[in-house]
Structure 1
Amino acid sequence: MKIKTIISSAAVLFLSYACTTSNTNSASDEVKEYQPIFESLSQHEAAPEWFQDAKLGMYFHWGPYSVPAYGSAWYPANMYIKGSKVNQFHEKNFGPIEEFGYEDFIPMFKGEHFDAEEWADLFKMTGAKFAGPIAQHHDGFAMWDSDVNPWNCLDMGPKRDITGELFAALRKRDIKTIATLHHARNGQRNANTPEYWLKNGFNSHYPYHPDLPTATTDPKLRKLFGNWENIEDFNQYWLDQVVEVVDKYQPDILWYDSWLNMIPEEKINEMVAYHFNSGLKNKQEVVVCSKHQDIPWEYGVDDMEQGGRRDIYPLPWMTDVTLSNKRWMYVEGEPYKEAALVVRNMIDVWSKNGTVLLNISPRADGVINQEQRDILKDIGDWMNVHGEAVYGTRPFHIFGYGTANASDASHDGQSAKIKYTANDVRYTVAKDKKSMYVFFLGVPEGGKRINMRAIGGFHRNQPPSPIKDIKLIGSNAQVKWKLTPQTLQINMPEVEYNPIATVLKLELE
């Protein structure tokens, strides 16, 4: 059983201070080789400075499940649940599951329009500092040139090394790399249980019953469904695939979806040690991320799906959000979030010591549709103007203030769909503390006087040093301001404001 670390109140206070300081001497610089035990792994810095500076990464849900473009990325599982909406859709459009299984989508997943160079340009234009593929989802199909997994994109489907081509293109553009791995849930854990899948479904991705195609004993096909003779063999298969990704591609970040807790702790420790030692060998400051703190916070970064936090978190953390309104893979007719909603939610994350991993959804043929591209361009245009307030910054003593309704909170805090306005303000501070940034998560009213008591006057949360001047980023308009004993008065200039978010730069002494 995996033991989770509990942070005491005193530790939180200490780490709150530590996370805002720059660690120039990483512990990993002194380690010659990591051992797969906590005492050794905990010497590795969980969030190196480059990661804290990056703020935005991108990835994509893309695989054979993109072919039907229906339901969700759980189509491979749901198609085998008799009577479900996905099962009905599948049998109507493709035939009975006994005659057309998930493996039959793979030849249809051609990715003929995939262009690694063009995708890398798109990620860079959006402002991403790291990017990469879902190397393997729950479905068991590897998006890399695999000698371990016979179900892979070089031997089947696109017949190209998607991970290899994309990583090469990203590195030419000085973009760090991430490989996300969701295959812990691929292992079939219900084959020997009397109730099979319907009662124990969350143990494994594919439903199991002796009469279902997923119960196959075909030596090759059973690997797709994770249907090994015993779960110990699957656990080794899980690890062997990660080792192969690390050996072939040296990702800067390994990221794990939920259900990592189903993998034995010794296998996880082996994986982490192998990744960290690869970083030492290749002179990389590597990172490992997981959900639900399945990897201890001492050397892993915690991720919250579509979530946020209500306050500044003492440790650097991450949230993965999707550009789609709800789905992660490409689904016909799926609406997308507006750029303003995405950016404002990202600002909230950044103000609370977080990093964003943004998901997009390519079609099965490798086309990223124009609707997503237009939103990414709007995000990129905003980042291009306001990037100094984002990259390389750290949280202030308080994240900000406002009136946004957090009643739709998800996970540990605010969801990725909370609608902010200009009444909601967030802060970041430059690492050198020579400037502080004030974000209005909406369009301010020109000519309005704002009394910012939260950081002005006698309030304890004053900027790190006295204010020399205040400027509106992206504009030459003069900002009139006055510091009184009670408040910081700011007169918002009468200009045309950015429709996504407005940022003031406080130049400090």
Structure 2
Amino acid sequence: MGDVRFTGNWNSVNAHTVPKWYEDCKFGIFIHWGIYSVPAFAPHTWELGEVDSKEWFADNPYAEWYYNSLNIGKGPTYKHHIEKYGKDFKYEDFIPMWKAENWDPKQWAEIFKEAGAEYVVLTTKHHDGFCLFPSKYTHFNSVEMGPKRNITGELTEAVRDAGIRMGLYYSGLIDWQYANDPIFEDDDLFGTASPTFAYADYSYNQMKELVDDYAPSVFWNDIGWPTQSEEMMPYFLAHYYNKVPEGVVNDRFNGRYYDFLTKEYKSGSVNRNEKWEMCRGMGLSFGYNANEGDDKLISVPNLISLLVGTVANNGNLLLNIGPKADGTIPEEQVRRLKILGAWLKVNHDGIYGTRCSDRESELLENGIELHYTQKDGNLNVFADHLKEGANEFLIKGYHGALRPFDPAVKVETEDTAEGLFVKIPEYKEDMYVVGLTNRF
């Protein structure tokens, strides 16, 4: 792929294929960190895709949408803001309060490494327009204000030093410094956002700036692309792929282009035949929400189930962390990352570098769910929702030996006419999903 030169037209760009590293890596860390991490507030309501957008925006559970929730002028976030900060306190007044005084990018990278993450995606500019990098095109950035640091640059260096690929998120369509009419429903996303050619040029220039300065392995655009400059899209993509031959982009380009599809909580449609990525926060928010304590975050068993179910069906999991304003990652989030990392260390051969098996995931009558991956002609079987104590299940139509990835898991098998009968006599809940393989 490194020998291909792309030119700024759709025919050329459409020849781009998903690089092997992105197919292989399976697990990444998303980071939402910004001005919104200071108020760190949103109601804990519902997952994206569960309710109609008219309900969603009024009670938005995304703390990183604090600006818009305030702008709507009603609802829990607005009420909280008026009570705590007063009517005259603007969103921008939080900037001096965001000091990132305890931020250590190397420590973050170590946590990501321990979690087993193969790539990281940082929000370089969210919808509030505040840039986490020094930009030639605006003073509204973290080097000149707030933390007074090049967050994108420092984290990129630390992550790469840890041997992990670095990706960058950019809010391509929405920037409330350019157009800040409140967004009440999905129709407003294109209807009121970025109405000018000036913003179309600005976002294009900044995207190019990020590519040229940081060469991100993933360019993760959000919401969409200004319609005024859609014809510049193939030129940007060609420029990116020429700069980063193994680069990859998501599907938020107005339906015109993607390397991989995205699913966000319950929103988005994906299939086993195309590469896709599941992104979500540990709670219902991406930005840190002080309302989401340990009991409001995804449980460890559900997190490991999510990873396995995603990978077995041709997806990657991009799991978000929401750091606090001081630059520390909340303890309850770190705990989940460490347990997931420990599980991955044991089961890595059944996850990384694998592909979809011809066998599709299946829910058995006894409530056990089986997921399958394959690698180099070897089959891996993951048994989920096992109960404390003895468990048994049948892998229909499979005849052959299997061994557990985890030597602590005892497994007994019997080949029958219907398939392989598997017994796990002493399952403990802290084993989580049990991985088996026919690779010896």
Same fold (TM over 0.5): yes
Amino acid at match of 1:77: N
1:65 equivalent in alignment to 2:36: yes
CA drift at 1:318: 0.7
- 1:411 match: none
Counterpart mapping for 1:235-246 below 5 A: 235-246=200-211
Amino acid at match of 2:210: V
Taking a change above 3 Å as real, the CA distance of residues 403 and 148 of structure 1, as seen in their structure-2 partners, is farther
- Contact 1:190–1:204 (Cα < 8 Å) also in 2: no
After superposition, what is the alpha-carbon deviation per residue over 1:207-239, rounded to whole angstroms, capped at 9, x for unaligned? 98xxxxxxxxxxxxxxxxx88xx6111001011
After superposition, what is the alpha-carbon deviation per residue over 1:241-286, rounded to whole angstroms, capped at 9, x for unaligned? 1111111111010012223374632132222122111114xxxx11
**Cα distance in structure 1, aligned partners of 2:4 and 2:224:** 30
- 1:152 match: 141
Amino acid at match of 2:418: Q
- 1:49 match: 20
Amino acid at match of 1:437: N
1:327 equivalent in alignment to 2:285: yes
- Paired residues in the alignment total 417
1:109 equivalent in alignment to 2:81: no
CA drift at 1:57: 0.4
- 2:371 match: 426
- 2:47 match: none
**Cα distance in structure 2, aligned partners of 1:337 and 1:400:** 22
Amino acid at match of 1:56: F
Taking a change above 3 Å as real, the CA distance of residues 450 and 286 of structure 1, as seen in their structure-2 partners, is same
**Cα distance in structure 2, aligned partners of 1:42 and 1:394:** 23
- Contact 2:412–2:423 (Cα < 8 Å) also in 1: yes
CA drift at 1:397: 0.7
After superposition, what is the alpha-carbon deviation per residue over 1:416-463, rounded to whole angstroms, capped at 9, x for unaligned? xxxxx9611100011x11x2111111335655442221x426xxxxxx
Counterpart mapping for 1:71-90 below 5 A: 71=42, 72-90=63-81
Taking a change above 3 Å as real, the CA distance of residues 131 and 200 of structure 1, as seen in their structure-2 partners, is closer
Amino acid at match of 1:176: R
- 1:186 match: 175
- 1:130 match: 119
1:316 equivalent in alignment to 2:307: no
1:501 equivalent in alignment to 2:433: yes
- 1:450 match: 393
Amino acid at match of 1:144: F
- Contact 1:308–1:349 (Cα < 8 Å) also in 2: no
Percent sequence identity over aligned pairs = 27
**Cα distance in structure 1, aligned partners of 2:390 and 2:333:** 35
**Cα distance in structure 1, aligned partners of 2:165 and 2:367:** 33
After superposition, what is the alpha-carbon deviation per residue over 1:135-177, rounded to whole angstroms, capped at 9, x for unaligned? 1111101111222221111111100011111110111111001
CA drift at 1:507: 2.7
Equivalent position SS for 2:250: strand
Taking a change above 3 Å as real, the CA distance of residues 360 and 387 of structure 1, as seen in their structure-2 partners, is same
1:475 equivalent in alignment to 2:416: no
Instruction: Pick the aligned partner of 2:357 from 392, 396, 399.
Output: 396
Counterpart mapping for 1:214-233 below 5 A: 231-233=196-198
- Contact 1:188–1:231 (Cα < 8 Å) also in 2: no
**Cα distance in structure 2, aligned partners of 1:197 and 1:162:** 28
Amino acid at match of 1:428: T
| TM-score, normalised relative to structure 2 | 0.87
CA drift at 1:484: 3.1
Q: For structure 2, which runs of at least 5 residues remain unmatched after alignment? A: 43-62
Tell which structure's C-alpha radius of gyration is larger: 1
- Contact 1:145–1:161 (Cα < 8 Å) also in 2: yes
CA drift at 1:197: 4.9
Give the aligned CA root-mean-square deviation in angstroms. 2.8
Taking a change above 3 Å as real, the CA distance of residues 103 and 506 of structure 1, as seen in their structure-2 partners, is same
Amino acid at match of 2:160: R
After superposition, what is the alpha-carbon deviation per residue over 1:340-398, rounded to whole angstroms, capped at 9, x for unaligned? 11110111110100011110111111111111111111111111111111000111012
Equivalent position SS for 1:269: helix
- 2:57 match: none
1:252 equivalent in alignment to 2:217: yes
- 1:36 match: 8
- 1:407 match: none
CA drift at 1:119: 0.3
- 1:203 match: 188
1:277 equivalent in alignment to 2:242: yes
- Contact 1:79–1:87 (Cα < 8 Å) also in 2: yes
- 2:417 match: 485
Equivalent position SS for 1:274: helix
Taking a change above 3 Å as real, the CA distance of residues 117 and 471 of structure 1, as seen in their structure-2 partners, is same
- Contact 2:262–2:268 (Cα < 8 Å) also in 1: no
Equivalent position SS for 2:2: helix
After superposition, what is the alpha-carbon deviation per residue over 1:13-48, rounded to whole angstroms, capped at 9, x for unaligned? xxxxxxxxxxxxxxx33423x222110101211x21
- Contact 2:129–2:177 (Cα < 8 Å) also in 1: no
Q: For structure 1, which runs of at least 5 residues remain unmatched after alignment? A: 1-27, 209-225, 405-420, 458-466
Equivalent position SS for 1:79: helix
Taking a change above 3 Å as real, the CA distance of residues 497 and 263 of structure 1, as seen in their structure-2 partners, is farther
CA drift at 1:399: 2.4
1:436 equivalent in alignment to 2:394: no
Equivalent position SS for 2:279: strand
- Contact 1:292–1:304 (Cα < 8 Å) also in 2: no
Equivalent position SS for 1:132: strand
- Contact 1:289–1:301 (Cα < 8 Å) also in 2: yes
Equivalent position SS for 2:439: strand
- 1:234 match: 199
- Contact 1:473–1:505 (Cα < 8 Å) also in 2: yes
Amino acid at match of 1:474: D
